[in-house]
């Protein structure tokens, strides 16, 4: 394959790749930096290569390709010129192939290799070849070169993009940190309000517990008084029973007296005139006995009425005492519930206080983070 054909094929492939190449890294297309370099064959004479470099005055190198446009070596202009411009260099090398001055171990990479990998490979080269060009290929065929200047421009652009990305991340982080700071501020406000509400609830619960304790004490006093009233009713019933017994005895005596008075009247009637005075006395005794009996029966009836009232009072007192005892148990249960509620409220107040403390500490740390982010962002913008 002739040299001109190789060069035309290389240029065509480069033009095609510039139109169709889609590999980009961070928005950078390696083909945007791909340069043209003259292509020579492996048997190209030094004097002919001198003419090629003369025509391609801006080219830093020439690429040696074999058939199918496959690159095999790199010929750097400055290294080639140093050899030929040395003493006797022209006489010694002009008619020899320039391939002897080429680097067969030059750096060749496919165009779809990540740009950062290309830069890393270039940086790993020895000092002697550090500034050599890099051959770009597509499926093993030559398409162009990259110079160290191109790599520096790519690196600078990557750095700019990295700085822009970092600045964007810083802005986003600052925004999110601001959102977090706002949320923490709201949480702190809510925690503070929770602390105050917990204290108020604690005070109300404690007050309710105190009031229930007073009710409990009042109920206990009423139960005690009901018990005393019940005892008094029982004692009244006992006294009524004793009075009733005594009244029954009086009534029996009145009945016996009445019988004696009747007997005495009968005897006075039998005695005639001698018994008239005794008969009058007997009649008076009979009337007195009847009155005594009538009064005793009235007293007994009254005592029965008092006893019924006392029994009803005792029954009602027992009922009230039982209800008061049950109410007192309910109050005791309510007091227990209030005590448990008070413990829960105090625990909630403690947790709210801890939340407020943690939220305040988090807000201070967030403020420090935001301050540091602002400093970093300022430094990045100044860079």
Q: What is the mean pLDDT of each run of 10 residues along the chain (383 residues)?
A: 49 48 61 92 93 92 93 95 85 90 95 91 94 95 94 91 82 79 76 76 77 78 76 76 79 74 74 68 73 76 78 77 78 79 78 79 80 75 68
CATH topology of domain 3-146: CBS-domain (3.10.580)
- How confident is the model at residue 211, as a pLDDT? 80
Instruction: Please tell me if the domain spanning 3-146 has the same topology as the one spanning 167-382.
Output: no
Say if residues 29 and 158 touch (Cβ distance below 8 Å): no
pTM, two decimal places: 0.50
CATH architecture of 167-382: Orthogonal Bundle (1.10)
Distance, in Å, from the CA atom of 310 to the CA atom of 301, rounded to the nearest integer, reads 14
3-state SS, residue 218? helix
Residues 6+ away with beta carbon under 8 Å from 7: 38, 39
Q: Which residues touch 101 (CB under 8 Å, ≥6 apart)?
A: 46, 75, 79, 80, 83, 93
| 96, β-bridge pairs | none
d(CA 267, CA 351): 107
> What local confidence, expressed as pLDDT, does residue 25 receive?
55
pLDDT value for 321 = 73
Q: What 3-state class would DSSP assign to 250?
A: helix
pLDDT of residue 8: 53
Which among 370, 380, 372, 379 has a CA at the least distance from the CA of 176?
Answer: 370
Domain boundaries, the chain: 3-146, 167-382
What phi and psi values does residue 210 have, to the nearest 5 degrees? Answer: -65, -45
Structure tokens, 279: 């008969």
Measured between its terminal Cα atoms, the distance across the chain in Å is 52
Residue 303 bridge partners (DSSP): none
By residue count, the chain amounts to 383
**Percent of the chain that is helix, strand, coil (3-state, to 5):** 80, 10, 15
Q: Report how far residue 63's alpha carbon sits from residue 58's, in angstroms, rounded to the nearest whole number.
A: 14
Tokens, residue 31 = 């083909």
pLDDT for the residue 380: 66
């Amino acid at each position: 394959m002739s040299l001109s054909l190789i060069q035309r094929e290389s240029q065509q492939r480069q033009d095609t790749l510039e139109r169709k190449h889609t590999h980009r890294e961070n928005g950078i297309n390696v083909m945007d930096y791909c340069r043209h370099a003259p292509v020579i064959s492996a048997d190209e004479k030094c004097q002919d290569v001198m003419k090629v470099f003369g025509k391609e005055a801006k080219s830093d190198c020439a690429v040696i390709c074999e058939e199918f446009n496959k690159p095999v070596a790199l010929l750097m202009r400055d290294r080639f010129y140093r050899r030929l411009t040395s003493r006797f260099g022209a006489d010694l090398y002009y008619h020899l192939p320039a391939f002897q001055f080429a680097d067969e171990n030059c750096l060749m990479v496919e165009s779809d290799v990540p740009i950062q990998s290309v830069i890393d490979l270039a940086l790993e080269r020895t000092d002697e070849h550090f500034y050599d060009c890099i051959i770009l290929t597509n499926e093993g065929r030559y398409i162009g070169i990259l110079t160290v200047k191109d790599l520096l421009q790519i690196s600078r652009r990557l750095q700019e993009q990295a700085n822009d990305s970092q600045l964007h991340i810083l802005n986003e982080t600052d925004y999110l940190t601001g959102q977090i700071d706002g949320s923490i501020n709201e949480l702190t406000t809510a925690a503070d309000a929770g602390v105050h509400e917990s204290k108020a609830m604690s005070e109300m619960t404690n007050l309710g517990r105190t009031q229930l304790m007073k009710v409990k004490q009042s109920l206990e006093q009423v139960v005690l008084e009901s018990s005393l009233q019940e005892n008094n009713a029982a004692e009244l019933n006992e006294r009524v029973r004793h009075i009733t017994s005594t009244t029954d005895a009086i009534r029996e005596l009145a009945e016996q007296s009445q019988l004696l008075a009747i007997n005495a009247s009968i005897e006075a009637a039998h005695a005639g005139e001698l018994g008239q005075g005794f008969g009058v006395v007997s009649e008076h005794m009979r009337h007195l006995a009847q009155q005594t009996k009538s009064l005793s029966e009235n007293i007994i009836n009254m005592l029965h009425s008092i006893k019924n009232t006392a029994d009803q009072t005792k029954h009602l007192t027992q009922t009230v005492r039982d209800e008061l005892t049950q109410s007192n148990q309910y109050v005791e249960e309510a007091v227990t519930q209030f005590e448990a509620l008070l413990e829960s409220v105090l625990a909630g107040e403690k947790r709210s206080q801890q939340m407020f403390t943690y939220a305040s500490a988090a807000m201070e740390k967030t403020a420090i983070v935001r301050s540091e982010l602002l400093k970093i962002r300022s430094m990045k913008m100044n860079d």
